[in-house]
Amino acid sequence: MDQPQKKYVIHRRTVDLSSPYARLQFNKKHGLSTIPTIEPETSYATNIMPPSAYNNDYNMQRILNVPSKFTHLSSNKVKHVIPAIKWTPEGRRLVVATYNGEFSLWNGTSFNFESLMQAHDSSVTTMEYSHDGDWMISGDSDGIIKIWQANFNMVKELDDAHTECIRDVAFSGNDSKFVSCSDDNILKIWNFSNGKLERVLSGHHWDVKSCDWHPEMGLIISASKDNLIKLWDPRSGNCVSTILKFKHTVLKVKFQPTGGNMIAAISKDKSCRVFDIRHSMKELLCVRDEVDYMTLLWNPINESMFTVGNYDGSIKHFDLLQDLTKPTHVIPYAHDKCVTSLSYNPMGNILASASKDRTVRFWTRASPIDPNAYDDPTYNNDKINGWFFGINNNINAVRNKTEHGVAPPVPTNDDNNTISKINGNFMTGANNTLLMQNGNNRMQMSNHINTNGAMVPPGMPPYTMNMNMHTHINTGMDMSNTPLNTPDIDSKLPGLTPKTNNSSGLPGLG
């Protein structure tokens, strides 16, 4: 008689913004704060709002809107290098283009595989959706451009678009035209409605690696292997400006999606630079690294933040409103090999990254005091364990390794009942200069959040986060003299009864 087979439970993470959006609308309808209090405790994860809710609150943006927690790893059964990935406009699926010309669709909520189709005969090198979300353009290494409907029905193929590999495509602001660039040293402007070539932009002396169209104006930017960045007038086809700051191949250049006032570019000279087109291409940022930058992408929600992928597999987040000499957050070993493509979910809560290690990894926002944010065995590799960097990648953090992850240290009496000796940050993007005051190891929120969820302006009395003050904050009761580990604490909490051998003390549970 056959033995019954053991069934294994597969834990599949699911990321859904329906609940945060519903909570946001509820708070608006009832006149409550749209930015509830967030404290370093797991239960406060329910107060995290959608990324768009923090648009007018810079401090909360840089704390809560950085996708840094590893959520899922996806890979096809037949693995190939992944040159490009792109979220669908509604954010429900991720389109993954592979080296053998296939499109694979992955669910954007539960991250399971959905479908596979043969799109090109050669490697798909770039993809881009129109601003209205109804069309997608893809280019391959044979110089062929294909136009797709949202349901992946191909409606047009441009066989002779370029003579060499197509590196990038971009739509104009009104979707009436699009531009393509290739290793044949030229850019081409196409009429989208009929697929006719309108203008050829010649001026680069080597392969054109990247191009982009200004979101609002008639302005095209291109980056080339000749170390130059050029800006073009699409109406006349003339080059209107040239940037000569780089000393090696410029791999990627992108306009800021909101307003388009900034230009971010990365190069093989190991530099990442940001320019302001309003002030004669003034250089606002220049960050150099020990390894090459490979890809770049602006955050769709935070207009001051952009993300880069490195040759060593790391992912780095930069914020123009913070310290411009270093990234605000680093995921040191996001992939085993170089990062080839990045794509943000349109709602800004999920970042997808592709690599030459033939995998796609999904990154989401971390919860308050998430001890396992950097302790996932799928994320870590043999080079170094993620827990070494502590929670949220602060190299000064000290954590105890446990079988359940990385546990924060237990405060002692010397800590004056505060969250002390915790140099790591409870949320990604919040550095010590934001949460610490005058170098003291206390989480003081004088420049951060008050009890009503609003920002506290400088000069007001600091609010010290006491571990025994959670109930005091929510109920107005004085709990400062009641240790959390005393048996009579339940009698001081509203709605709870003292624990007995037959009762848990929780209302409704017995």
Q: What pLDDT digit, counting tens, does each position of 292-301 carry?
A: 899 999 999 8
Name the residue type at position 339: V
Query: What is the DSSP code string of 280-335?
Result: TTEEEEEEE-SS-EEEEEE-SS-TTEEEEEETTS-EEEEETTS-TTS-SEEETTSS
* pLDDT given for residue 71 in this prediction: 85
Per-residue pLDDT tens for 477-506?
A: 343 344 434 444 344 333 334 444 444 443
| pLDDT score of 97 more than 90 | yes
DSSP 114-153: EEEEE--SS-EEEEEE-TTSSEEEEEETTS-EEEEETT--
Per-residue confidence (pLDDT) for residue 402, from 0 to 100 = 40
pLDDT score, position 361 = 92
**Taking residues 355-376, what's their average pLDDT?**
74
User: How high is the pLDDT of residue 282?
Assistant: 84
* Cα 38 from Cα 368, distance rounded (Å): 8
Residue 46 pLDDT: 80
Which has more confidence, 478 or 85?
85
Confidence of residue 459 (pLDDT cuts 50, 70, 90): very low
Second-level CATH architecture of 68-364: 7 Propeller (2.130)
Q: How many CB atoms lie within 10 A of CB 35?
A: 22
Is 433 in a helix, a strand, or coil? Answer: helix
Is the confidence at residue 509, as pLDDT, over 90? no
Is the pLDDT score of 44 beyond 50? yes
At 304, the pLDDT band (50, 70, 90 cuts) reads confident
The Cα 463–Cα 472 span in angstroms is 13
Lowest mean pLDDT among 247-256, 310-319, 379-388: 379-388
How far, in Å, are 106, 149, 175, 455 from residue 137 at the CA level?
A: 19, 9, 11, 43
Q: Residue 10 pLDDT > 50, yes or no? A: yes
DSSP for 12-44, please give it: ------HHHHHHHHHHHHTT--SS----SSGGG
Determine the average pLDDT of the residues in 136-148.
Answer: 93
Least confident of 63-72, 121-130, 221-230, 381-390: 381-390
pLDDT value at position 32?
Answer: 85
Distance CA(312)–CA(329), nearest Å, equals 16
pLDDT tens per residue, range 189-225: 999 988 899 999 998 989 999 999 999 888 999 999 9
Confidence at residue 325, expressed as pLDDT on a 0 to 100 scale? 80
Radius of gyration of the chain (CA): 25
The pairing of beta strand 93-97 with beta strand 84-87: antiparallel
- Which has more pLDDT, 403 or 312? 312
Q: Is the pLDDT of residue 450 over 80?
A: no
pLDDT at 15 exceeding the cut of 60: yes
pLDDT in tens, 308-359: 999 988 999 998 888 778 888 888 888 888 999 999 999 989 999 999 989 9
Residue 134 has pLDDT above 50, yes or no: yes
**202 or 457: which leads in pLDDT:** 202
**96 has a pLDDT exceeding 90:** yes
Cα separation of 389 and 324, whole Å? 22
Residue 435 DSSP SS3? helix
177, 142 Cβ separation under 8 angstroms: no
Q: pLDDT at position 2, please?
A: 65
Higher-pLDDT residue of 288 and 87 is 87
Question: Tokens for 370?
Answer: 């998430």
Distance CA 168, CA 465 (A): 49
Q: Residue 144 pLDDT more than 90?
A: yes
Q: Helix or strand or coil: residue 191?
A: strand
What is the pLDDT, as a whole number, of residue 495? 38
Give the residue-averaged pLDDT of 74-94: 91
What pLDDT band is residue 41 in, cutting at 50, 70 and 90? confident
Q: Which residues of 280-301 are buried (b: 16+ CB within 10 A; e: fewer)?
A: ebeeebebebeebbbbbbbbbb
**Cα→Cα distances 301→122, 262, 297, Å:** 34, 15, 12
Q: Is the pLDDT of residue 146 over 50?
A: yes
Q: Reply yes or no on whether the pLDDT at 249 is more than 80.
A: yes
Q: What percent of the chain has pLDDT over 90?
A: 37
SS (H, E, C) 52-72: HHHCCCHHHHHHHCCEEEEEE
Please determine, for residue 25, whether its predicted confidence score (pLDDT) is greater than 50: yes
Domain positions in the chain: 68-364
Residue 369 neighbours by CB distance under 10 Å: 23
pLDDT score for 365: 85
Give the DSSP letter of residue 167: E
- Name which of 72-81, 338-347, 444-453 the model is least confident about: 444-453
The pLDDT of residue 405 is above 50: no
